[in-house]
Amino acid sequence: MEAKEKKIRVLLAKPGLDGHDRGVKVVARALKDAGCEVIYAGLRQTPAMVAGTAVDEAVDGVGLSILSGAHLTLLPEIVQELRSRGAPNVKVFAGGIIPAEDVQRLKEAGISEIFGPGTSLKDIVSWVQKNLGQPG
């Protein structure tokens, strides 16, 4: 009997009051098509909700889509929530409307990667596979 391949498990979520979810759903489909297991938490997630789902689902990474301008508050809070729940190794990445001048602050707060508007799906999938563990 062959050993079952471990799929990369990714949680995608929309933190805060942002109600625009087309982009995150496109990313979810691309990751699924690439062989990842994707859990979509949905809209209007609090940092505690995102971290709780990440821990409950034992994900390898959390992808956040944010367009609301609250990235400097919400994204570091999610990293802190993960740490406080005993999941400091879960990598967090984000995409959306995040000004270039805020990227370094977010990386210092524990966000592993930021994908800006126009990033190709191929680049996002490649980063996830490389940084969250290539399936197979």
Q: Hey, what domains does the chain have and what are their CATH numbers?
A: 9-128 (3.40.50.280)
- Across-strand partners of 71? none
Q: Exposed, middle or buried: residue 79 (CB in 10 Å: 0-12, 13-18, 19+)? A: buried
Supply the pLDDT for residue 135.
Answer: 46
pLDDT tens track, the chain, 136 positions? 455 678 999 999 999 988 888 999 999 999 999 999 999 999 999 999 999 999 999 999 999 999 989 999 999 999 999 999 999 999 999 999 999 999 999 999 999 999 999 999 999 999 999 999 854 4
- Residues 30 and 111: their CA atoms lie apart, in Å, by 21
Task: Determine the number of helices (DSSP H) and then strands (DSSP E) in the chain.
Answer: 5, 5
- Residues 9 and 61: their CA atoms lie apart, in Å, by 7
Supply the pLDDT for residue 136.
Answer: 40
pTM of the model: 0.93
Supply the pLDDT for residue 4.
Answer: 63
Supply the pLDDT for residue 134.
Answer: 54
- Residues 42 and 57: their CA atoms lie apart, in Å, by 15
